[in-house]
Amino acid sequence: MGREPQVSPVNADGPGAIGGTGRRYVIGARGSRLALRQVELVQAALRRLAPDVDIVVREIRTEGDRSSAPLSAIGGLGVFTKAIEDALLAGEIDIAVHSLKDLPTELAPGLAIAAVPPREDVRDALVSRGDATLAELRAGARIGTGAGRRAVQLRRLRPEVEPAEVRGNVDTRIRKVDEGAYDGVLLAMAGLARLSLTARASEIFPVEAILPAVGQGALGVEVRADDAGARALVGGIDDARTRAAVEAERAFLRRLGGGCRLPVAAHACIERGELRLRGMIAAADDAPDATPARLFEGEARGAIGEPEALGTRLADDLLALGARAFVDVAAAANEAGGRPRRPAP
C-alpha cells in the first residue's frame, strides 16, 4: 500500500455502478503509517459488504505533511485534508478517508461524509520514558503535544510539568521520547490501538480528566455528494451511534466558530437512550485576560436524533457564560494576521 498506483479513469460505469460491475473505486488518504492503516480498516469493511469491489489506494501529500511548522502557523484544521478533498472534487479519487478530528466542520461544496464507522478509543494517553505516570514525572518534565486543548488540561492535572510543542506522526513522537527530547508525549489512544502500540501507553486518561478533541477516534469517509454509487457503497459501513455522537461534537465546534483555533474539546456518547455531550473551551496561551475565567466547560443532554441542536445548545451555554470573550479575541487576532501560539483541538 505504500506505493501510489497508476490510477485509471474512474466512474467508467457511471455513478451508480457498485461492486463487481466494472467500476474501480480509488481511495485517497495521507501516506503516514496510521493513515494507511485507517484505509486498510475501511477497505476491509467495504469488501465485507461487496467482496468483488475493485478498490485501489492513492496516497496524497497534504500541506500538514509538507511543513514542520506548528499547525497553528499553517492554518490548523484542514491542513491534513484539503489536498485530499481537492483530489476528490477533481475526480482523481472517489473516496477519502480522514481522521475526523482533522476535518473542518464546514465541508467543501459538493462533498459529503457518507460514513462514520464505529469509533475507536476516544481517550488520550501518556507515553513516557521509563513508563512513568503523569504523577511520577519530575517537576519541569517536558510533555510533547501539538494540541492546545491537551496543554490546557495537562496543566490542570499537573501544573509542575511543561507542555512543549511537538510535530510528527505517532512513531516519530514516540521516538523523540525514547531519544530523550521529551519526558513524554500525549497521544490519542485510537492511533496507538490502530498501530498495535497500546503497550507503550504509560497512563490512559479518562475523558473526565482530559476531554478529547472533536471527532477523536472516529474516521470520516467522504465522497462527492452526487456520486450515488460511492455513497451507496460507503453508506453501508456507517455507524448510527458514532455518527450521532460526532455530529453533536462538530455542531459544538461549528457554533464556536468552526475553524476556531482556541483550545476546544468535546465528547458525546449515548447513555440511557439519550445523547450526552461534554464540552470545553479555553483562552489561547497568548490571549489577554478578557474575563476572570480562563476555561469554561459544561454538559448537556438531548435526543439522539437531534445531535446538531444539542451541540449548538451547549456551545451557546458556554458562550453566554463568558467564553464569547475568548472567541472575539481570537477572531480579532485572526483578522489582524495573528494566531494563537498553539493549535486548537
pLDDT tens digits, one per residue of 242-261: 999 999 999 999 999 855 67
With respect to residue 3, please indicate whether it lies within any of the assigned structural domains: no
Give the other-Cβ count within 10 Å of 308's Cβ. 16
291 vs 102: which has the higher pLDDT: 102
Nearest-CA neighbor of 168 among 69, 93, 281?
69
Nearest-CA neighbor of 283 among 271, 291, 275?
291
Cβ-Cβ contacts under 8 Å for 300 (sequence gap 6 or more):
276, 277, 279, 310, 313, 314, 317
CATH number at residue 151: 3.40.190.10
Q: What is the pLDDT of residue 260?
A: 62
- Do 103 and 181 share a structural domain? no
Compute the average pLDDT of residues 217-228: 97
82, three cell numbers: 484539503
Q: At residue 280, does pLDDT exceed 80?
A: yes
With respect to residue 56, please indicate whether it lies within any of the assigned structural domains: yes
With respect to residue 13, please indicate whether it lies within any of the assigned structural domains: no
User: Is residue 177 a contact partner of residue 185, using CB atoms and an 8 Å limit?
Assistant: yes
Distance in angstroms (rounded) separating the CA atoms of residues 200 and 221: 28
- Do 80 and 147 share a structural domain? no
- Do 186 and 258 share a structural domain? no
Distance in angstroms (rounded) separating the CA atoms of residues 319 and 323: 4
With respect to residue 254, please indicate whether it lies within any of the assigned structural domains: yes
pLDDT cut 90: percent of the chain above it: 70
- Do 225 and 183 share a structural domain? no
Backbone angles phi, psi at 47, to 5 degrees: -70, -25
Contacts 24+ apart (CB under 8 A), 170-178: 170/33, 170/34, 170/195, 170/197, 171/33, 171/195, 173/127, 173/144, 174/127, 174/200, 176/144, 177/127, 177/128, 177/129, 177/144, 178/129
- Do 322 and 258 share a structural domain? yes
Give the other-Cβ count within 10 Å of 77's Cβ. 23
Q: What sign has the CA pseudo-torsion 148, 154, 155, 161?
A: negative
**Centroid of chain to Cα 238:** 17
- Do 251 and 181 share a structural domain? no
- Do 195 and 111 share a structural domain? no
**Centroid of chain to Cα 314:** 20
Compute the average pLDDT of residues 206-234: 97
Residue 22 DSSP code? S
Distance in angstroms (rounded) separating the CA atoms of residues 180 and 184: 9
Q: Torsion-angle region of residue 91: left (phi > 0), alpha (psi -120 to 50) or beta?
A: left
With respect to residue 6, please indicate whether it lies within any of the assigned structural domains: no
**Centroid of chain to Cα 327:** 21
Compute and round to an integer the Cα radius of gyration of the chain. 20
With respect to residue 327, please indicate whether it lies within any of the assigned structural domains: yes
- pLDDT tens for residues 67-101? 444 444 444 556 668 889 999 999 999 999 999 99
- Do 232 and 103 share a structural domain? yes
Catalytic residue among 94, 102, 121, 124: 102
What is the bridge-based pairing of β-strands 219-224 and 142-144? unpaired
Distance in angstroms (rounded) separating the CA atoms of residues 152 and 162: 11
Q: At residue 236, does pLDDT exceed 90?
A: yes
Q: What is the pLDDT of residue 336?
A: 60
With respect to residue 165, please indicate whether it lies within any of the assigned structural domains: yes
> For the chain, what is the domain count?
3
Q: At residue 235, does pLDDT exceed 70?
A: yes
Q: At residue 54, does pLDDT exceed 60?
A: yes
Residue 73's domain comprises 19-117+218-238
Compute the average pLDDT of residues 295-305: 96
The length of the chain is: 345
SS3 228: helix
Q: At residue 63, does pLDDT exceed 60?
A: no
CA of 310: how far to CAs of 93, 106, 118, 183, in Å?
Answer: 34, 18, 21, 39
- Do 101 and 230 share a structural domain? yes
Cβ-Cβ contacts under 8 Å for 276 (sequence gap 6 or more):
268, 269, 270, 299, 300, 301
- Do 59 and 108 share a structural domain? yes
CATH number at residue 250: 3.30.160.40
- pLDDT tens for residues 141-182? 999 998 889 999 999 999 999 999 998 899 999 999 999 999
238 carries an active-site annotation: no
With respect to residue 213, please indicate whether it lies within any of the assigned structural domains: no
- Do 232 and 110 share a structural domain? yes
Q: At residue 202, does pLDDT exceed 70?
A: yes
